[in-house]
Amino acid sequence: MDLAQLSDRILTGDRRALARAITLVESSRADHREQARELLERLRGSGREAIRIGLSGTPGVGKSTFTEAFGMMLLGQGLRVAVLAVDPSSARSGGSILGDKTRMDRLSREKDAFIRPSPSQSQLGGVARRSREAVALCEAAGFDVVIIETVGVGQSETVVAEMSDLFVLLLAPAGGDELQGVKRGIMEIADLILINKADGDLKATATRTCADYAGALRLLRKRPQDPQGFPKAMMVSALAGTGLTEAWDEMQALIGWRREAGWWERRRAEQARYWFDQEVRNALLSQLETGTARAALDRLGQAVAEGRVTPGAAAREMLETLSGQHTAV
Amino acid sequence: MDLAQLSDRILTGDRRALARAITLVESSRADHREQARELLERLRGSGREAIRIGLSGTPGVGKSTFTEAFGMMLLGQGLRVAVLAVDPSSARSGGSILGDKTRMDRLSREKDAFIRPSPSQSQLGGVARRSREAVALCEAAGFDVVIIETVGVGQSETVVAEMSDLFVLLLAPAGGDELQGVKRGIMEIADLILINKADGDLKATATRTCADYAGALRLLRKRPQDPQGFPKAMMVSALAGTGLTEAWDEMQALIGWRREAGWWERRRAEQARYWFDQEVRNALLSQLETGTARAALDRLGQAVAEGRVTPGAAAREMLETLSGQHTAV
């Protein structure tokens, strides 16, 4: 593969080259990894930065409909939009979200849009690294906004937050004591809570839900990276197309404030450092993934869980097993 | 040190032997670590289980006053009570919380109570492991309730939750828009939110605060380990001594339900497994703590943060540095 040529084509915004490069960073073959690293090093100096929006919401909340409507609105403002998905569940099931592009029928036919389903059949650590690298490729290809979708499963929001500039939680209207099912940890990272389906019969319920979340957000500690009034709860309707421009205005206001206050740059630097640390740590911990180590870890872990040995004594035995594999610990 | 004798004395509930054993597990000397592991293995078979209560609250909320009043109430019910502190800030400052036992004047003079300040001058990973081992020693010494206090700093609540059977968040009454400063992640782990100082002039404010938090808790997703009505927000007054028995009744109800439903045992097994995994991982990652590795990590991390190299390329260079130190990666 001619990396210089691929790199040049990505810089011109060529979507086929971009798709090919993402396939490269998704591969776990050693030679592909090496090429991917070289390609990313080549593109590092492009100086291009997109606004990276993390988006989470449980199934049924209208995430695809929202992304399509929101994306079309951005295109209408002359912006180029990429949509990526991070789906840790695909690591288990082998499936992928966004696999069916017809769910974003209009957006997928626009020349200034790029939609990429999540890679399937890989581990969460791998999904995370590849998604982060795919985001970097989209930035180099000159997209103005990159939307990184995830479903609210396990640690996926945290992972997506580490590759986003702002994080949006999409919720459906819910009446009274009906539970929303908001994962607790997500309140930690949400910058904007959007109550979708604020139309027709659901309008009144959406208004109440929005007020409930605005109240809940006020009970939490203020983060230094938040200007007055953030995190914020707002209503939108992807179906009716209402509230989308207002939501984008709020995002821009938030980003503008963070840029001026130095948070944008600081956060980007912290994220780069974070991903570097993660790669180093994952490489070290990959010693535990070999067949022998894995088997010992399972056997000793089971003994610990059953109270047959203390965690400390079992850990020492585990480390001796690893040393026996000619691995210095 | 005669470990057999120390072990026997701990099993009789001897507080001086317990204190000495905790000093042993707090030491980072290799021979002490070895002795600590052997001691814990000896005591493993005691079959004694305390109710381990994680307790968090920001400074000024009345944590010491609460712990003393709550502890005295438990003693009044014929129970033996141990109080430990996990203070990650001491890893930085070299200080320790609970260092001043006079803040629990009555409790510290009771023969059925045991109070231990947090170890100072060590790293969070170390603080966590030592605290967990200190809890195990208190259980072997026959204490019925172990209260593990922490301040709401960084990851400390999560660490304490991994060594507790239930987690209590202590808050002060706050009116209207006055921010409570609840760390967002803590909603993930709290089983009981207690609004302290529900007495005198603050009674009405406490009632409103309690209702606010009860409302916020209802907006969160139900966890399978929670019976109907949990997590719960309640009012107490450590000063007036009100609500303490009621809070203890709720804790017992929660624990009783979890025992019957199998959650107690499952959680204990998961925690043991978690600590085993942590010890193994920490040992592997300790490669990064040597002088040379630390310097390379800082240098490369800085280059990554400044955008002079991609995280992937820097990670590869880091791993080559580690290999050069005769460490198989």
CA A30, distance to chain mean position in Å, is: 25
Nearest to A183 among B221, B279, B310 (CB): B221
Distance, CA of A257 to CA of A268 (rounded, Å): 15
pLDDT at A128: 82
Contact at CB, B312 and A283, closer than 8 angstroms: no
Task: Evaluate if residue B28 carries a pLDDT over 90.
Answer: no
The β-bridge relationship of strands A113-116 and B192-195 is unpaired
Question: What is the structure's pLDDT at A102?
Answer: 53
What is the C-alpha separation between B271 and B265, in angstroms, rounded?
A: 10
Do B183 and A221 lie within an 8 Å CB cutoff?
A: yes
Query: In this structure, which amino acid lies at residue B170?
Result: L
A182, A270, A277 ranked by CB distance to B219: nearest = A182
Residue of B nearest to A44 (CA): B310
Q: Is the dihedral of CA A311, A316, A320, A322 positive or negative?
A: positive
Q: Is the pLDDT of residue B33 over 60?
A: yes
pLDDT confidence tier of residue A3, bands split at 50, 70 and 90: very high
Query: What strands lie across the sheet with A232-235, from one edge to the other?
Result: A113-116, A81-86, A145-150, A51-56, A166-171, A192-195, A232-235
Assign A1 a pLDDT band (cuts: 50, 70, 90). Answer: confident
Cβ contact B37–A220 (<8 Å): no
Question: Could A183 and B327 be called an inter-chain contact, meaning their C-beta atoms sit closer than 8 Å?
Answer: no
Contact B275, A243 (CB under 8 A): no
Task: Tell me whether the omega of the peptide bond preceding residue B88 falls within 30 degrees of 0, making it cis.
Answer: no
Does pLDDT of A20 surpass 70? Answer: yes
Nearest residue on chain B to A310, alpha-carbon basis:
B41
Give residues with Cβ within 8 angstroms of B253, minimum separation 6: B227
Cα–Cα distance measured from residue B318 to residue B102, given in angstroms and rounded to the nearest whole number: 49
pLDDT interval class at A187 (50, 70, 90): confident
Residue, of A287 and A18, whose pLDDT is higher:
A18
pLDDT of residue B88: 60
Q: Which residue of B has its CA nearest to A302?
A: B273
**Of A219, A279, A284, which is closest to B284 when you measure between CB atoms?**
A284
pLDDT score at B206? 93
| CA end-to-end span of chain B | 38
Q: What's the confidence (pLDDT) of residue A177?
A: 47
Q: What is the mean predicted confidence (pLDDT) over B77-81? A: 98
DSSP reduced 3-state for B328: coil
B184 contacts A161 by C-beta, under 8 angstroms: no
- Give the per-residue pLDDT at A179: 45
Report the alpha-carbon distance of residue B38 to residue A306 in Å, rounded. Answer: 18
Q: According to the model, what pLDDT value does residue A232 have?
A: 95
Partners of residue B185 in chain A, C-beta under 8 Å: 184-185, 188
Residue whose C-alpha is closest to residue B114's, from B140, B93, B94: B140
- Contact criterion met (CB < 8 Å) for B177 and A304: no
Name the residue among A95, A22, A107, A101 with its Cα closest to residue A67: A107
A319 vs B contacts (CB less than 8 Å): 280, 283
Q: Which of A58-62, A313-317, A323-327, B232-236 has the lowest mean pLDDT?
A: A323-327
| Contact across the interface for B218 and A177, Cβ inside 8 Å | yes
Flag the least confident range among A66-75, A282-291, B62-71, B269-278: A282-291
Contacts of B322 in chain A (CB under 8 A): 284
Q: How many Å apart are CA B27 and CA B32, to the nearest integer?
A: 6
* pLDDT for residue A93: 44
The percentage of chain A sitting over the pLDDT mark of 70, rounded to a whole number, equals 87
Q: Does B222 or A164 have the greater pLDDT score? A: A164
Q: How far is B66 from chain A (nearest CA, A)?
A: 23
Chain centroid offset of residue A315 CA: 33
A309 contacts B44? CB cut-off 8 A: yes
Q: Quick one: pLDDT band at residue A125, thresholds 50, 70, 90? A: low
- Nearest chain B residue to A43 by CA distance is B310
B251 or A85, which is more confident? B251
- Tell me the one-letter amino acid at A113: A
- Joined together, the tokens standing for residue A299 give 């056997």
What pTM does this model have?
0.72
Confidence of residue A222 (pLDDT cuts 50, 70, 90): confident
CB pair distance less than 8 Å for A273 and B187? no
Cβ of B219 within 8 Å of Cβ of A319? The answer is: no
Torsion, CA A147, CA A150, CA A155, CA A161, rounded to 10: 10
Q: How confident is the model at residue A89 (pLDDT cuts 50, 70, 90)?
A: low
pLDDT recorded at residue B41: 93
Taking the C-alpha atoms of residue A26 and residue B131, their distance in angstroms, rounded to an integer, is: 41
Least confident of A33-47, A80-94, B3-17: A80-94
Q: Is the pLDDT of residue A91 over 50?
A: no
- Residue B96: its pLDDT value, please? 45
Q: Residue A180's pLDDT is what? A: 55
Contacting residues for A144 by C-beta, under 8 A, at least 6 apart: A50, A51, A74, A79, A80, A81
Nearest residue of A to residue B299, measured between CA atoms: A273
Write down the mean pLDDT value for chain B.
87
Is residue B100's pLDDT more than 70? no
* pLDDT above 70 coverage of chain B, percent: 87
- Between A270 and B213, the higher pLDDT residue: A270
Q: Which residue of B has its CA nearest to A268?
A: B305
Taking an 8 Å cut-off on Cβ atoms, the answer to whether B276 and A300 are in contact is yes
Q: Is pLDDT above 60 for A90? A: no
Token pair 């702002």 is found at A166
The answer to whether the CB atoms of A312 and B183 lie below 8 A apart is no
Q: How far apart are CA B97 and CA A29, in angstroms?
A: 51
Q: What are the chain A neighbours of B279 within 8 Å (beta carbons)?
A: 311-312, 314-315
pLDDT score of A88 more than 80: no
Q: Which pLDDT score is estimated for A145? A: 98
Domain A48-261, architecture per CATH: 3-Layer(aba) Sandwich (3.40)
Cα–Cα distance, A13 to A30 (Å, whole number): 27
pLDDT given at position B111: 95
For residue B123, name the pLDDT band (cuts at 50, 70, 90). Answer: low
Chain A environment of B182 (Cβ under 8 Å): 219-221
pLDDT of residue A223: 86
Given a cut of 60, whether residue B8 has pLDDT beyond it is: yes
Q: Which of the listed ranges A204-218, A220-234, B159-173 does the model predict with the highest average pLDDT? A: B159-173
Kindly report which listed range (B161-170, B199-208, B216-225, B252-261) carries the lowest average pLDDT score.
B216-225
Burial, B176: exposed, middle or buried (Cβ in 10 Å; 0-12, 13-18, 19+)? exposed
Task: List chain A domain ranges.
Answer: 1-45, 48-261
Average pLDDT over residues B219-240: 90
B240, β-bridge pairs: none
Least confident of A58-72, B67-81, B118-132, B260-274: B118-132
> Considering only alpha carbons, which residue of chain A is nearest residue B158?
A185
Distance from CA of A111 to the nearest CA of B (A): 29
What pLDDT, on the 0 to 100 scale, is given for residue B218? 82
Report the C-alpha gap between A292 and A305 in whole angstroms.
20
Place of tokens 């000495």: B20
Please answer yes or no on whether A305 and B270 come within 8 Å at the CB atom.
Answer: yes
More confident residue, B175 or B23: B23
pLDDT at B157: 84
Q: Closest residue of A to B319, CA-based?
A: A280
What's the pLDDT score for residue A104? 87
Taking residues B296-315, what's their average pLDDT? Answer: 95
Q: Taking 90 as the threshold, does the pLDDT of residue A42 lie above it?
A: yes
> What Å distances lie between residue B114 and B24, B101, B107, B151, CA to CA?
17, 11, 8, 20
Helix A30-43 to helix A124-140 angle (10° resolution) is 40
Identify the residue with better confidence: B273 or B324: B273
Whole-angstrom distance, CA of residue A164 vs CA of residue A302: 38
User: Hey, of B46, B280, B292, which one would you mutate to test binding to chain A, going by the most A CBs within 10 A of its CB?
Assistant: B280
Task: Tell me if B140 sits within 8 A of B10, measured CB to CB.
Answer: yes
Q: How close does chain B come to A119, measured CA to CA in Å? A: 19
- Cα(B249)–Cα(B255) distance, integer angstroms: 10
Mean pLDDT of chain A: 87
What per-residue string of b and e applies to B303-314 under the rule 16 or more CB within 10 Å gives b? bbbeeebbbbbb
More confident residue, A156 or B18: B18
CATH class of A1-45: mainly alpha
The shortest C-alpha distance from A183 to chain B (Å) reads: 6
Q: In this predicted structure, what is the pLDDT of residue B181?
A: 57
